[in-house]
């Protein structure tokens, strides 16, 4: 039996603008992961896939070609024509909430590909893995920027810009990221399509929002690198306001962001595609419990907390 995993992620700054070539920043969540295991099937023909988090227990042959898991497997074997698809059982488990902006699709794909590479004893680099995951992300999102596959496959905080070499950064110091799920979701390709149309309709307005988002991203990352968390929190607030101006927030996300700030967080913003999914809040360890319980009282679900420093491994 071979097992491999990949982490979830959160976007700290710059979602949506990143699709149009601006810089964005994201961090992996090392302690919240998707895991794929592969074992040989000796007594039956064909490959079987079990993925409880999406209620899947099916033969590979019965899945539609466009199913992301079948697409991933087909992509792998098309790239490696010298290895045969032998009868195997693939089991996939994920701790990452689905369709919430935490990279669950990219992490599941990355873990599946990692396990296939290992099962067939084929060497691979994070770059190769990331390119393959990007191909699969196109099924989920249409025109993904590439930030999700990059952060999930390289497992490092990244400042990402399309078609540019990878830039990583590190964060030290005592600060906590509180993650709250709004409990509802809008497919990312819908909000991305909305923003694309708005860029056509109002090019000047939207371009100036994108430019301001990139500036906010860069000053926010600089603040995180120098442990200036109050400043980074201000950058998060600004970024959330810019995402509101863009039209991808909603009343529930705005309420959760306000709640976190009133509870003492340095800053908070929606993270991911928006109109649902998660918000992230940055606070001191002393405020962690109060920010978390306030978010829960305000209707946030699946509250998770993690140190934002990059040398950590635990999430609560
Ligand atoms: C999704 O995690 C982030 C978006 O910027 C889309 C993308 O980058 O592909 C909304």
Pair 146, 233 in one domain: no
On the question of pLDDT at 313 being above 70, the answer is no
Single out the residue in 148, 168, 188 at which a domain terminates.
168
The predicted structure's pLDDT at residue 102: 96
Whether residue 299 sits in one domain with residue 159: no
Q: Note the pLDDT tens digit of each residue in 119-169.
A: 999 999 999 999 999 999 998 778 999 999 999 999 999 999 999 999 999
Distance between CA 287 and CA 292 in Å, rounded? 8
The 10 Å Cβ neighbour count of residue 170 is 12
* Domain co-membership, 185 together with 214: yes
Which residue among 102, 186, 187, 188 is best mutated to probe the pocket of ligand 1, counting the most ligand atoms within 8 A of its Cβ? 188
Both 123 and 210 in a single domain? Answer: no
Query: What pLDDT sits at residue 140?
Result: 76
Q: What is the rounded CA–CA span in Å between residue 256 and residue 300?
A: 7
The answer to whether 96 and 18 have CB atoms below 8 angstroms apart is no
Q: What is the DSSP letter of 287?
A: T
Q: Give per-residue pLDDT as tens, 32-65.
A: 999 999 998 877 778 999 999 999 999 999 999 9
> Does 316 reside within a domain?
no
Cα of 148 vs centre of ligand 1, distance in Å, is 7
pLDDT of 314 reads 58
Question: Do 139 and 187 have their domain in common?
Answer: no
Q: Is residue 205 part of a domain?
A: yes
**Calpha distance 224→219 (Å, rounded):** 9
Give me the residue label for tokens 């908070």.
268
| Residue 316 in this model has a pLDDT that exceeds 80 | no
From 142, 168, 194, the end of a domain falls on 168
Q: How confident is the model at residue 312 (pLDDT cuts 50, 70, 90)?
A: low
Q: Is the CB of 30 under 6 A from ligand 1?
A: no
Domain that holds residue 245: 176-307
- CATH number, domain containing residue 302: 3.30.70.890
pLDDT for residue 44: 72
| Euclidean distance between CA atoms 248 and 251, whole angstroms | 10
Same domain assignment for residues 259 and 163: no
Measured CA to CA, the distance from residue 145 to residue 159 in angstroms comes to 13
pLDDT digits (tens, 9 = 90+) for 250-300: 999 999 999 999 999 999 999 999 999 999 999 999 999 999 999 999 999
Residues 74 and 149 in one domain: yes
Surface-to-core class of residue 200, CB atoms within 10 Å of its CB (0-12 exposed, 13-18 middle, 19+ buried): exposed
Nearby residues of 272 by Cβ (< 8 Å), 6 or more positions away: 10, 11, 15, 100, 101, 102, 188, 278
Residue 312 resides in a domain: no
68 and 33 within one domain: yes
| 205 and 244 belong to one structural domain | yes
Cα of 273 from ligand 1 centre, angstroms: 6
Q: Same domain for 108 and 10?
A: yes
């Amino acid at each position: 039996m071979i097992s491999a995993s990949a982490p979830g992620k959160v976007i700290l700054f710059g979602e949506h603008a990143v699709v149009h070539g601006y810089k964005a920043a994201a961090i992996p969540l090392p302690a919240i992961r998707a895991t794929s295991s592969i074992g040989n099937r000796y007594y039956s023909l064909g490959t079987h896939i079990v993925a409880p988090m999406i209620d899947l227990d099916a033969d590979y042959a019965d899945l539609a070609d466009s199913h992301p898991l079948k697409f991933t497997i087909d992509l792998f074997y098309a790239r490696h024509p010298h290895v045969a698809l032998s009868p195997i059982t693939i089991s996939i488990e994920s701790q990452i909430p689905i369709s919430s902006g935490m990279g669950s699709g990219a992490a599941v794909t990355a873990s599946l590909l990692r396990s296939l590479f290992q099962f067939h004893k084929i060497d691979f680099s994070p770059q190769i893995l990331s390119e393959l995951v990007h191909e699969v992300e196109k099924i989920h999102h249409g025109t993904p920027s590439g930030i999700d596959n990059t952060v999930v496959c390289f497992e490092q905080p990244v400042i990402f810009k399309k078609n540019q070499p990878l830039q990583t950064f590190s964060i030290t110091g005592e600060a906590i990221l509180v993650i709250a799920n709004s409990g509802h979701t809008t497919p990312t390709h819908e909000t991305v399509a909305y923003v694309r149309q708005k860029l056509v309709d109002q090019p000047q307005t939207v371009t100036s929002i994108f430019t301001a988002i990139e500036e906010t991203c860069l000053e926010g990352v600089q603040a995180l690198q120098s442990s200036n968390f109050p400043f980074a929190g201000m950058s998060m607030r600004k970024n959330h306001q810019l995402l509101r101006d863009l039209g991808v927030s909603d009343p529930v996300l705005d309420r959760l962001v306000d709640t976190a700030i009133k509870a003492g967080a340095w800053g908070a913003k929606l993270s991911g595609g928006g109109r649902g999914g998660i918000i992230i809040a940055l606070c001191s360890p002393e405020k962690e419990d109060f920010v978390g319980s306030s978010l829960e009282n305000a209707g946030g679900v699946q509250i998770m907390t993690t140190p934002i420093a990059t040398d950590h491994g635990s999430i609560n």
